[in-house]
Amino acid sequence: MKRAFAALSLFGLVLAQEAHRVAITHPFSPVNRETNFLLVWVLVFSVLIFGVVAGALAYITWKFRAHPGQQGEPPQIHGNDRLEVIWTLIPVAIILVLFGLTARALIQVNQPIPGAMKVEVTGYQFWWDFNYPELGFRNSNELILPVGVPVELEVTSKDVIHSFWVPGLVGKQDAIPGQKTRIRFVAENPGNYYGFCAELCGPSHARMLFRVLVVPKEAFDRFVEAAKGYTPPVADARGQEVFQQNCMACHSVQGKMPPAVIGPELAFLGNRVSLAAGIVDHTPENLKAWIKDPAAMKPGTKMPGFPQLSEEDLDALVRYLEGLKVEGLDFKALPKF
């Protein structure tokens, strides 16, 4: 009993801590406030209907129960026009109100925002790619956005159906192969927002996360400038060699969309707050562990392991990868949502 209670309170604790990440009760964009408004009203009606129906049922069951000494069937009643009209009209009125609220929210949420910044979002098993066609750069697994600027995401997939969801900001929006779906929103507060794939897409669906890093406009502009003129720094010459021999077939470090994308863009890896589609914090140790044996961290991943690399080569490679960054930006300081 004690143990069950302890487990339960631990569960509660975890929920309380995780709630902030997942709850859409902390809306940080107008789109989410709109969906929240709808959610609350649908909930209010549901609770009211449940209360009235369950209450009536309980009352009637109690009131018309068999009394001691009662014999045979009670009087049988057939039809009551007034009652039937009432219980048809009330649900129709409720449905009409909910329809109105839903239509309002849908129109609001789907409205094109003129001059919105475009980002192409592509889902892969089990990671996300973010390409900025107008700004001429690309990043994977971490979507960097400026505060207060409207964005339009063009969401698609290169393999199976995924779904793009950032509980604090926007979504969900399905990522469907061969099709482009759009979502628009404005992020109003700086932060490191958790994102999820919300459509079962394979063995590591639950490990297909991402981050949205919302930064002040000035920091974003600095990043864009640096990304445009980016030449990948070479922090370790041996590391670069190892990279070119083993990794370049799948990974780019240029920060631009290569013709055929196989793996995530590694151009700004040094600036990342997370690794492997948001599943672990970005540390040199996690990076090394990932390269050695990605499948240990993410079953079913499309990246092969590199157990054959010597410790020296691995360390050189990690130094090289950590050096791939834009100087003067610290995304790790952003508050987490």
Q: How far is the CB of 236 from Cu ion (least distance, A)?
A: 34
Query: Cβ of residue 211: shortest distance to Cu ion, in angstroms?
Result: 15
Told to check if 206 binds ligand HEC by CB under 6 A, we report no
The long-range contacts involving 228-233, CB below 8 angstroms and separated by at least 24 positions, are 228/135, 228/136, 228/137, 230/137, 230/254, 230/255, 230/267, 230/326, 232/267, 232/324, 233/323, 233/324, 233/325
Choice from 186, 187, 208, 275 touching Cu ion (CB under 5 A): 208
Query: Half-sphere exposure (CA, 13 Å, Cβ side) for 259?
Result: 1
State the nearest-atom distance from the C-beta of 242 to ligand HEC, in Å.
7
Question: Is 262 an interacting residue with respect to ligand HEC (CB under 6 A)?
Answer: yes
Of 126-145, binders to ligand HEC (CB under 6 A) are: 126-127, 140-141
d(CA 60, CA 88): 20
Q: Which of 41, 258, 306, 334 binds ligand HEC (CB under 6 A)?
A: 306
* Contact yes or no for 235/284 (Cβ under 8 A): no
Smallest CA-to-CA distance from 221 within 141, 114, 112, 328 is with 328
Q: What whole-number distance in Å separates Cα of residue 265 and Cα of residue 250?
A: 9
Tell me, rounded to whole angstroms, the distance of Cα 278 from its chain centroid: 10
Least spacing, CB of residue 154 vs ligand HEC, in Å: 20
230 binds, among ligand HEC, Cu ion, none (CB under 5 to 8 A by kind): none
**With CB under 6 A as the contact rule, which of the stretches 73-81, 168-176, 182-190, 274-282 interacts with ligand HEC?**
274-282
Among 162, 207, 272, 298, binds Cu ion (CB under 5 A): 162
Binding to ligand HEC by residue 36, rule CB under 6 A?
no
Residue 263 interacts with ligand HEC (CB under 6 A)? yes
Q: How far is the CB of 33 from ligand HEC (least distance, A)?
A: 31
| Region binding Cu ion by CB under 5 A among candidate stretches 58-66, 80-88, 154-162, 236-244 | 154-162
Find out whether 214 and 203 touch, Cβ atoms under 8 Å: no
CA-based nearest residue to 277, from 205, 178, 177: 205
Query: Is there binding between residue 209 and ligand HEC (CB under 6 A)?
Result: no
Residue 298 contacts Cu ion per CB under 5 A: no
Among 246, 256, 293, 305, binds ligand HEC (CB under 6 A): 246
Q: With binding defined as CB under 6 A, does residue 302 bind ligand HEC?
A: yes
Helices (H), the chain: 2-22, 30-63, 81-110, 217-228, 237-246, 284-292, 294-297, 311-322
Q: What is the DSSP letter of 336?
A: B
Residue ranges in contact with Cu ion by CB under 5 A:
162, 197, 201, 208
Residue ranges in contact with ligand HEC by CB under 6 A:
126-127, 140-141, 246-247, 249-251, 262-264, 266, 275-277, 287, 290-291, 298, 301-304, 306, 317
